[in-house]
Structure 1
Amino acid sequence: MSNKHNAREAIVDTASRLFFTQGYHATGLSQIIKDSESPKGSLYYYFPRGKEELALTCINRTSEIVAKQLRHYVENGKSAAIAIQDFILGMAADAENSTFKGVVPFSFWLSVETSCVSEELRTACQAVFNDWQDVVMQQLLAEGTDQQMAADKASVVISLFEGALLQTLTYRNTQPLLAAARAIPAILD
């Protein structure tokens, strides 16, 4: 049982890394199988619908990881603004520590690339952004922001974060993320 779990995790870990670094279209199942050192049958056992099902699993995993990080900062922050600033600063540190290779904006690798591939992948990507925005929105609602303004601000925050991360990776410099963190109080307060 442990080997099966390890094979599945190896496949998902490898696919996530390859989707992030190469993109969805440039990543083939043969490469995922080879790089994960898993038998071909394992991939199709765990993901009988193939690459799209595997991508959905990677999308959901990414969503959960980022939403968990956001919730951590929100639960430990004094305000939405401080929590989001800390979250963005943490991403800047992660980007720098990975020499700008270990962190990729979600919108870059999946949303843009896969939204035209299938409606199921597009809907999954939409759910990711909704989940992340909801974490921010719930904190803003708890702080007394009205529903529409909280939704609008949450959308802007996630857009700012994703865009700043894309620029950070393009420039290989944390300055765009640092600038985004500095702008957060103006947006959320």
Structure 2
Amino acid sequence: MSNKHNAREAIVDTASRLFFTQGYHATGLNQIIKDSESPKGSLYYYFPRGKEELALTCISRTSEIVAQLLRYYADKQLGTAVMVQDFILDVARKAEETSFEGLVPFSFWVAVETSCVSNELRSACQSVFKDWQDVIMQSLLQEGVEDTTAANKASVVISLYEGALLQALTHKSTQPLLAAAQSIPAILG
């Protein structure tokens, strides 16, 4: 791996962590540079449009990580309810293993805080939720659920997941995630 790739990844990793823990507005580029131990020129080399472009990269990466995990469970073809339950239980397990470090609902820092900053960030946030919902919706469609119903159920599931994450973080407890997982069959049935 080249040093350039390492600098870019260090910047993205650091920015993601800081955006998640402090929020978009409270995170400055100087802090990202300092904490990532990257030269200032690297940040502007990889992200010439600055903080917003960096946030877009973090949003995209977060979206893909979650969508990839959802697809992993979908590929097991155990049914949509089991897919979502396994996904949520995996998140709960990781939360416990990491003492809830890095467990922040996507909507908490991105959708709420950055969607008012620019239309591009708002659009990126919309795409994230759509991508996650699409994985669930496609699984429901394969089970014969009607289009509108599948879309509505996928939206509810993502809302439940995000809300459970917020409560889990607030209480430093996996109980909200476990309760959400337990409720999935009733929602998707």
TM category (shorter chain) comes to over 0.9
Q: Which amino acid aligns with 1:81?
A: A
- Give the equivalent residue in structure 1 for 2:83: 83
- Give the equivalent residue in structure 1 for 2:181: 181
Find the aligned partners of 1:75 and 1:22 in 2 and give their Cα distance.
35
Please give the secondary structure, in 2, of the residue aligned with 1:116: coil
Find the aligned partners of 2:131 and 2:76 in 1 and give their Cα distance.
19
- Give the equivalent residue in structure 2 for 1:136: 136
- Give the equivalent residue in structure 2 for 1:170: 170
1:39 aligns with 2:72: no
Pairs within 5 Å for 1:77-116: 77-116=77-116
Once the 2 structures are TM-superposed, how far is the Cα of residue 153 of structure 1 from its aligned partner? 0.3
Once the 2 structures are TM-superposed, how far is the Cα of residue 97 of structure 1 from its aligned partner? 1.1
Q: Which amino acid aligns with 1:14?
A: T
Please give the secondary structure, in 2, of the residue aligned with 1:110: helix
Find the aligned partners of 2:85 and 2:172 in 1 and give their Cα distance.
20
Find the aligned partners of 1:33 and 1:8 in 2 and give their Cα distance.
11
Find the aligned partners of 1:110 and 1:60 in 2 and give their Cα distance.
11
Once the 2 structures are TM-superposed, how far is the Cα of residue 77 of structure 1 from its aligned partner? 4.1
Find the aligned partners of 2:6 and 2:172 in 1 and give their Cα distance.
34
Change (3 A) 1:77 1:102: farther
Find the aligned partners of 2:185 and 2:64 in 1 and give their Cα distance.
25
**RMSD of aligned Cα (Å):** 0.8
- Give the equivalent residue in structure 1 for 2:117: 117
Find the aligned partners of 1:13 and 1:98 in 2 and give their Cα distance.
16
Q: Which amino acid aligns with 2:115?
A: S
- Give the equivalent residue in structure 1 for 2:59: 59
Pairs within 5 Å for 1:12-27: 12-27=12-27
User: For residues 131-173 of structure 1, what are the alpha-carbon distances to aligned partners after superposition, in whole Å with 9 as ceiling and x for unaligned?
Assistant: 0000000000000000000000000000000000100000111
User: For residues 54-95 of structure 1, what are the alpha-carbon distances to aligned partners after superposition, in whole Å with 9 as ceiling and x for unaligned?
Assistant: 000000000000000000011114100001000000111111
Find the aligned partners of 1:128 and 1:23 in 2 and give their Cα distance.
18
TM-score by length of 2: 0.98
Find the aligned partners of 1:119 and 1:79 in 2 and give their Cα distance.
36
Once the 2 structures are TM-superposed, how far is the Cα of residue 44 of structure 1 from its aligned partner? 0.3
User: What percent of counterpart residues are identical?
Assistant: 75
1:160 aligns with 2:153: no
Please give the secondary structure, in 1, of the residue aligned with 2:26: coil
Q: Which amino acid aligns with 1:87?
A: F
Once the 2 structures are TM-superposed, how far is the Cα of residue 102 of structure 1 from its aligned partner? 2.1
Gaps of 5+ in 1: none
Of 150-159 and 72-81, the range deviating more from structure 2: 72-81
- Give the equivalent residue in structure 2 for 1:149: 149
